[in-house]
Amino acid sequence: MKRIVLIGFMGAGKTTIGRQLALALGLSFYDLDWYIEMRYHRTVSQIFAERGEAGFRELERNMLHEVAEFENVVLSCGGGTPCHFDNMDYLNTMAETVYLKADTPVLAAHLMMGKVERPLIKGKNKEELIRYIEETMKVREPFYLKAKHVLDVSLMDNYEKVKTSVNLLIEELEK
CATH of the domain at 77: 3.40.50.300
For residues 113 and 6, give the distance between their C-alpha atoms in angstroms, rounded to a whole number: 21
Instruction: Note whether residue 135 is domain-resident.
Output: yes
For residues 32 and 97, give the distance between their C-alpha atoms in angstroms, rounded to a whole number: 14
Instruction: Note whether residue 21 is domain-resident.
Output: yes
Instruction: Note whether residue 29 is domain-resident.
Output: yes
CB-CB neighbours of 70 under 10 Å: 16
Instruction: Note whether residue 108 is domain-resident.
Output: yes
Tens-digit pLDDT profile for the chain (175 aa)?
Answer: 899 999 999 999 999 999 999 999 999 999 999 999 999 999 998 999 999 999 999 999 999 999 999 999 999 999 999 999 999 999 999 999 999 999 999 999 888 887 567 777 888 888 999 999 999 999 999 999 999 999 999 876 677 888 889 999 999 998 8
What are the φ/ψ torsions at residue 5 (nearest 5 degrees)? Answer: -120, 125
Instruction: Note whether residue 175 is domain-resident.
Output: no
- Whether 83 contacts 138, CB under 8 Å: no
For residues 85 and 30, give the distance between their C-alpha atoms in angstroms, rounded to a whole number: 21
CB-CB neighbours of 122 under 10 Å: 9
| Residue 42, domain extent | 3-163
Instruction: Note whether residue 171 is domain-resident.
Output: no
With CA atoms as reference, report the closest residue to 112 among 98, 101, 122, 100: 122
With CA atoms as reference, report the closest residue to 56 among 68, 38, 43: 43
Cα 155 to the chain's mean position, in Å?
Answer: 17
Task: Output the pLDDT for position 160.
Answer: 85
How many domains does the chain fold into?
1
Instruction: Note whether residue 132 is domain-resident.
Output: yes
Instruction: Note whether residue 172 is domain-resident.
Output: no
Cα 163 to the chain's mean position, in Å?
Answer: 18
